[in-house]
Amino acid sequence: MPKMTFIERNGEQREVDAPLGLSVLEVAHKHGVDLEGACEGSLACSTCHVIVAPDWFDRLKRPSEDEEDMLDVAFGLQKTSRLGCQIVMTEALDGLTVSLPPSKKAG
C-alpha cells in the first residue's frame, strides 16, 4: 500500500498508509492528522491547505482554477501550496510528503 508523510505543525513527521483513490484530506482524517477540511472536499474553503514538499510538487497534476481561487485565501500560502482534498493518492504518489501550514490563531 502506498505511504505518505505528514509533517505536523510541531515538526513531527508521521508516515501513514495512504490507500489508492483517497485524497490527502481523507488520508489525514483516517489517521487523526489535524487537517480540518470544513467543506468536506467540495472546493468551498481552504481549510485543508497543505504545503507539498518541493520534490513532489511538480509530480502533481496542475491545480484547477477553482482550487487556485481557494488557495488565494489560504493562510500561510507558499509556492508549493495545494488543497489536500484535490490531491488523490496514486501509485505514482507513493512517498508523498506534505507539511501542515502554521495554525491561524485568532488574535
User: Is the pLDDT reported for residue 107 higher than 90?
Assistant: no
Would you list the domain boundaries of the chain?
3-99
pLDDT tens, residue by residue, 78-102? 999 999 999 999 999 999 999 999 8
Q: Which CATH architecture best describes the domain 3-99?
A: Roll (3.10)
Cα 32 from chain centroid (whole Å): 14
pLDDT tens-digit series, residues 18-60: 999 999 999 999 999 999 999 999 999 999 999 999 999 999 9
Residue 65 parent element (H or E): helix 65-71
In the three-class reduction of DSSP (H, G, I as helix; E, B as strand; rest coil), residue 94 is classed as coil
Quote the pLDDT of residue 24: 98
Q: What contacts 32, CB < 8 A, 6 or more positions away? A: none
Q: In what order do the strands lie in the sheet with 13-17?
A: 13-17, 3-7, 96-99, 49-52, 81-83
Say if residue 106's pLDDT is above 90.
no
Residues 4-22, mean pLDDT to the nearest whole number: 97
